[in-house]
Amino acid sequence: MRLLVLGGTVFLGRHLVEAALRRGHEVTLFNRGRHNPELFPDTEKLRGDRDGDLTALRGRRWHAAIDASGHVPRVVGAAAAALADAVEQYTFISSIGVYAGFPRTPGIDESFPVAALADATVEAVTRETVGPLKALCERAAEAIMPGRVLAVRAGLLAGPHDPTDRFTYWPRRVAQGGDVLAPVGPELRIQFADARDLAAWTLRMTEERRVGVYNATGPEHPLTLGELLDVCREVSGSRARFTWVTEEFLLRNNLGFMELPLWIPRSPGTSTVVCDRALAAGLCFRPLAETVSDTLTWSETRPRDGRLRAGIERKREAEVLEAWDSRHGGAAVPVSVS
């Protein structure tokens, strides 16, 4: 298959390209060449700017395109228009954040309404606008290529090359050992998928010319933060001790999901997204221990003094743990999920 990837050098896009090359596809990348330009030296690279310079796409044909970098509907619409006669199918990487009730509504499936912007001309991508913008991107692509668009509504992603560190924080912190601040309780439900698993499935769906909308996160069965931390401890061989702190106490101390990733306060929708349609279409997941181990291995290649983009700093963590212990009069606090 001749495959065009818009983006293709950052996290999910990178894993998509690696999966396509392993499967013997002829891959072309279209991007500005600003992120990891040294990757894939033997792969065709077309340089341009999807926001205004699509010249390099003219006169070319591919079997399918995967848009791994679209956030603004005007820009996605322009790419879809440029490729309408050049590809048979357009795969767009969207987000579970498109839903109007996300993240507070539990049990969201593909039938739920999507969010809308009060001002449809807004293009600034922020925490508040990213979901509605993705929904408009889906609509823009479908309007230009009706019946030829696959929209993959992805959740939080994990694994090597994650630029957000929202999953990486936990394996890395647990590996360091000591007293680990953990949110709410070991039964806290979480959802995420290894980016490599999502990439492999997305590629298969593209190969099969599947279309429509799919929620795509994992794992297949309910997972708790306690289970994840136990696996992190087992894989790293650390002797970390987990102190579970209530949501109310964390909020009073101005902590949120960027300090303690995978926990989003009072938001059950982030951990109960229904992915039955994708599972029925073959989405599957590697063992959790493999994701944790590979993430740790990759993390070790990064600068040791490099600051993670997510996760609480050790000094602040110690302060919160001390305050929590003092609140309980020095009494023992549960430290293990085993």
CB 284 within 8 A of CB 192: no
Q: Is 201 exposed, middle or buried (0-12, 13-18, 19+ CB in 10 A)?
A: buried
Q: What values do phi and psi take at 154, rounded to 5?
A: -85, 150
- Length of the chain equals 338
Break the chain down into helix, strand, coil percent, rounded to 5. Answer: 35, 15, 50
Q: What values do phi and psi take at 322, rounded to 5?
A: -65, -40
Domain boundaries, the chain: 2-154, 169-190+222-269+288-327
d(C-alpha 141, C-alpha 74), whole Å: 10
What is the reported pLDDT for 302? 87
- State the helix-helix crossing angle for 225-236 and 288-299, rounded to 10 degrees: 60
What is the reported pLDDT for 334? 43
What is the reported pLDDT for 327? 81
The DSSP symbol for 337 reads -
**Nearest C-alpha neighbor of 226 from the set 338, 320, 101:** 338
d(C-alpha 37, C-alpha 25), whole Å: 20
Count of other CB atoms within 10 angstroms of residue 279: 18
CB 88 within 8 A of CB 63: yes
**Nearest C-alpha neighbor of 210 from the set 158, 280, 156, 275:** 280
State the residue for tokens 């609140």. 327
What is the reported pLDDT for 307? 83
- Topology, domain 169-190+222-269+288-327: UDP-galactose 4-epimerase; domain 1 (3.90.25)
d(C-alpha 237, C-alpha 164), whole Å: 25
State the residue for tokens 């992603």. 157
Q: Provide block-wise average pLDDT over 10 residues at a time, the chain (338 residues).
A: 98 98 98 96 97 97 97 98 98 98 96 95 95 98 98 98 97 98 98 98 98 98 98 98 97 95 95 98 98 97 83 97 82 40
Domain 2-154 CATH assignment equals 3.40.50.720:
yes
CB 157 within 8 A of CB 243: no
What is the reported pLDDT for 305? 66
CB 211 within 8 A of CB 150: yes
